[in-house]
Amino acid sequence: MNVQTIFFAQGRLRAIWRFLFSALAIVASVIAIQILLGIVLGLAGTKPTFFLANSLTAFLTLPVLLGLVAFFTRVFEERPFGSAGMAMSGRWKAELALGLAIGTMMTLAVAGLEWALGAARFSWSGEELKLLCLWGGGSFVVLTFAATNEEIIFRGYPFQRLVESIGAPGAILILSVLFGAIHLSNPNSTWVGAANTSLVGVPFSIAYLRTRMLWLPIGMHFAWNFVLGFVLGLPVSGITFPVTLLRAEDAGPTVLTGGAYGPEAGLLATGVIVLATGYLAVSRSIYVSDDTRALLVGPAKTPAPEEASAHLEKPGPARGEMTS
């Protein structure tokens, strides 16, 4: 083995190096955005809340991420931008809608269990309609950006190249652990919360691998955060929304509810996440569409990723066949 074979195989940069280069570029870009934002806010004499700071970061990060992904798919893969999981074709609307439904059901299941066990009480917040519309709309936009950003980072191009390099199980483990670890900097974070946040990375990863598009995990991610935070008034990874539709009162025990960090640090959420993972892994209504398959394994200037065909699910059931 010489230096060239360490970096290249079959005339292209090895997948592990494409993963490392893309991951480093994304991390450096996010850090740079946070530093520049901090400098600007400091010069303006503004000290934003954690919620506002995260919102501003999300708005600035998304266009940078999209630009980086477009660059990597063109330069390293010589494929269209959509091949990284963002193609607006085929079943993308159906996958997004299914993700929204699954994320909503997961959240309501956790809240329902807390209520049934007497661990949480919910009541109308009593906020004015105008204020609810303002914060509801704002939360919708912010969380759309945030969910899309995190899915691009943790289930997007870097994850896809790591799957190509070491296989899906190893890639899911590494990126899910990192997904949980970054949430340790959130308010009221706990090791249990980080572990559960890592765990929820598994169904998100499976959602991508079963469809080879990011729409299903983006929908799940957004719905979980929006319903949990704005609709139910529960903390989302330690962040409490200033204005919510319902007001939640945590009656404990913390081991079930997650306390100030929110349900993600509670055992009830653990059970729901495991059940959702099982559904996503076996449901025959979740599959790679023909359009996506053509995008991934169709003609390209460079060879298709070695693992692409191995991880593609079979096309959906024939017309009239039963689905789960």
**With contact defined as beta carbons under 8 Å apart, do 257 and 115 qualify?**
no
Residue 41, classified by CB atoms within 10 Å of its CB into exposed (0-12), middle (13-18) or buried (19+), is middle
Strand partners, 247: 123
Domain membership of residue 319 (yes or no) is: no
What are the CA-CA distances from residue 306 to residues 165, 171, 179, 223, 311 (Å)? 9, 15, 26, 33, 10
Q: Give CB contacts under 8 A, 24+ apart, made by 169-175.
A: 171/205, 172/201, 172/202, 172/205, 172/206, 175/201, 175/205
Domain membership of residue 197 (yes or no) is: yes
Domain membership of residue 53 (yes or no) is: yes
Q: What is the pLDDT of residues 33-47, one digit of tens each?
A: 999 998 998 888 888
Report the share of the chain in percent with pLDDT over 70. 91
**With contact defined as beta carbons under 8 Å apart, do 152 and 159 qualify?**
no
- The domain total for the chain is 1
- What's the CA gap between 241 and 48, in Å, rounded? 14
Looking at residue 41, its pLDDT comes to 87
Residue 177, classified by CB atoms within 10 Å of its CB into exposed (0-12), middle (13-18) or buried (19+), is middle
Domain membership of residue 71 (yes or no) is: yes
Domain membership of residue 321 (yes or no) is: no
Domain membership of residue 67 (yes or no) is: yes
Domain span holding position 93: 3-311
Domain membership of residue 323 (yes or no) is: no
Domain membership of residue 152 (yes or no) is: yes
Instruction: Please tell me the least confidently modeled range out of 106-120, 208-222, 238-252.
Output: 238-252
Supply the DSSP string of 93-129, one letter for each residue: HHHHHHHHHHHHHHHHHHHHHHHHTTSEEEEE----H
Looking at residue 288, its pLDDT comes to 92
Cis peptide before 253 (omega within 30 of 0): yes
- pLDDT: which is higher, 5 or 122: 122
Q: What is the pLDDT of residues 184-228, one digit of tens each?
A: 888 888 888 899 999 999 999 999 999 999 999 999 999 999 999
